[in-house]
Structure formats: C-alpha cells, structure tokens
Amino acid sequence: MVGGASGALGRAVVLELHRRGHRVVAVGRTAAEVPGAHRTLAADLAELEGVEAAFRDVSSMGEVGALVNVAGGFVPGTVVQGRVSALREMLANNLETTWWSCRAAAPLLARNGGGAIVNVASRSAVGPAGGAAAYAISKAAVLRLTEVLAAELAPSRVRVNAILPGVIDTAANREAMSPARLAAAVPAEDIAAVIAFLISDAAWPISGAFIPTYGWS
C-alpha cells in the first residue's frame, strides 16, 4: 500500500513497485487513477476513520506485505511570523497521516509473518533551515515515530525505516524554483528506487534507519 500516491513522489513509487512485480494499492485524497496501481482508493489519511476504511479494503484483497507513507504537505513560515494554524496543519498532514497508517498496517504485517514500512520524512527533520519551522518539526516527529515503531515491531519481524529527501525534481518544483535550487534536485524516480529496495528482502537487516536521499545538495 502506498499512501499519498497521487503526488509526484507517490506516483513514482507506485510505478517502481509495479515494475518490480508488486501488486500495489494506491491511496490518495481522490480515486483518480494512478498508473501502475492494481487498485486506487480515496481516503483522508489524516483521519483515523479514513485510514481504517482504506485498510479494510486493502486487507480484503489479500496479504499486506509493505506500507509506504508518502502522504504529507508543506507550509512555509517561521515560528514567530508563520501563520498560527501552520503547526497543527503540518502535524496533521505529515505526522498523523503516518501515525494512523502505521497503526492500521502493523497488525496486518505481523499477521503475515513480517514486512516493511517506509516513512517519508525530510532532510529538514535533521538539518532544518529557517523558514519552514512547522514542516521541519512535523517531519522530525516522523523520525521519532519510525524509531519507536522499529523497536515495537521488531518481535513481529516488521522493519520500519524513513527516508530523508531534500528538493525533489518534479514538474511542480521546476515551475516554482530557481535553476540554482533545481540543480541539486533528485528525481522522484531515483528516490522511489531507494524505497523499493527498503521494502525488498535484500534490506532485511535494516530497521530504524534514516536514509538520506538528497544527493550532493
């Protein structure tokens, strides 16, 4: 299952997993078709009820072997001058989407003898720059969640890791960013390949890790 599959990175992950032979359920805010997905579901992953409904559908299709949490958002702003709602918005979009999905997936993965979860955090979580305070804080919380889950789910042979992207080379970023910033951007397809490795059997010794995916930037 890939949560947040309608965005550029989510779509790249779905395609990469499909290319490697996985049957992928893509979950987004709408049921718009995602290329490579076995099935596409609409759910608000920031709400427990939406997540539970999505996982009921997913579990009815067969065993669940992996979860990729891509869903999230970005709001700029400093602690002092950012808008008042930014922190709650970022915690809902970035932390709660991941929290509720992990909570729903863990029993299914354990029941099937193990599996893998990959959370999408951000380089900002470990080296924040000014101007995106709420975003950086919410992504840092995703890292703590990843560590806690890696410890809690180890007896069930469920691996939990996070990736740390920086600027991702997407169509939207090409329109919004300067050529200088885009020069160091990493293609979404390359990040998707790292995620695909982390859910593969070859990555079985890796859990509780934060994997940089920001290239040389």
Query: Which residues are marked as active site?
Result: 135
- Under a CB-based contact definition with an 8 Å cutoff, are residues 152 and 107 in contact? no
Measured distance CA(46)–CA(1) in Å, rounded: 16
Query: How many helices (H) does the chain have, and how many strands (E)?
Result: 8, 9
The DSSP string of 51-73 is HHHHHHHHHHTS---EEEE----
How many residues make up the chain in this entry? 217
Number of neighbours of residue 88 by Cβ within 10 angstroms? 12
Element holding 176 (H helix, E strand): helix 171-176
Helix (H, G, I), strand (E, B) or coil at 119: strand
Distance CA 216, CA 87 (A): 29
The owner of tokens 């990175």 is 9
